[in-house]
Amino acid sequence: MVSLVVALASRPLGELLSPWALGWQEAPQVVVPLATVPLEAQTSAYVRDVWGERPYGQTPEVGLRALHDGQRLALQLSWPAPQRRDLLDDDDVFLDAACVMFAMREDTPISMGSPQRPVRGWLWRPDWPQPKEVRATGPGTSQRSPGDGLEARASWQEGRWTVVMAGPLPQEGLLAVAIWRGADKERAGLKAYSPRWLPLELRREGGRA
């Protein structure tokens, strides 16, 4: 089973906030294939009736790297976004976004958890000064709150976002990713997601994994 190795960073995690920091070479990259959230899983009847005709959830994959320093986790996400959307300058404009979701148990529904299996995560958007904390107990239930202790830096170059998010090392051992492509007016359940939980494999010793 594929897992995401969380290597022990050999330099201060603060230096890794830059998406291009050399330290990221210490962390092996996992390329996670993404899927479109299917129409029948959409909680909006309007989306189910109308959005079958419109392309969404087209981001094919996301590259992930992870490092930690015993206290904090830094995640580097990299995905293709041919047309950048980072400025909310009209009512019909939607922004690129990414969310990493954490869960404790394998039986947590990947579709935003459930009342018995809540999930939480970090939501990044290019126009926010820091990611927001998200909690959910099922589709359509996510609640955002200020991302205390969360940081992010992002770079868009040649049709790709590379984003680093950092925050307190999570207790949870499983991770999932969702990507919203603003140019396709993706928002809410209109997104691409990793259809399986990815185990986090925490390395306590340094050196290249």
Mark 170-189 with x for binding to other proteins (rule: CB under 8 A) and - for no binding.
Answer: -----------------xxx
- Among 32, 34, 42, 108, interactor with other proteins by CB under 8 A: 42
The owner of tokens 């962390």 is 27
Query: Do 81 and 97 touch, CB atoms closer than 8 A?
Result: no
Please tell me the distance from the alpha carbon of residue 204 to that of residue 206, in angstroms, as a whole number.
7
Mark 134-173 with x for binding to other proteins (rule: CB under 8 A) and - for no binding.
Answer: -----xxxx-x-----------------------------
Q: 81 is written with which tokens?
A: 């976004």
Q: Which helix (H) or strand (E) holds 45?
A: helix 45-50
- Among 1, 40, 71, 92, interactor with other proteins by CB under 8 A: 92
User: Does residue 90 interact with other proteins by CB under 8 A?
Assistant: yes
Would you put residue 17 in left (φ > 0), alpha (ψ -120 to 50) or beta?
A: alpha
Query: Do 59 and 34 touch, CB atoms closer than 8 A?
Result: yes
Segment contacting other proteins by CB under 8 A, of 5-13, 17-25, 74-82, 85-93: 85-93
* Chain contacts with other proteins (rule: CB under 8 A): 42-47, 49-50, 53, 88, 90-92, 94, 139-142, 144, 187-189
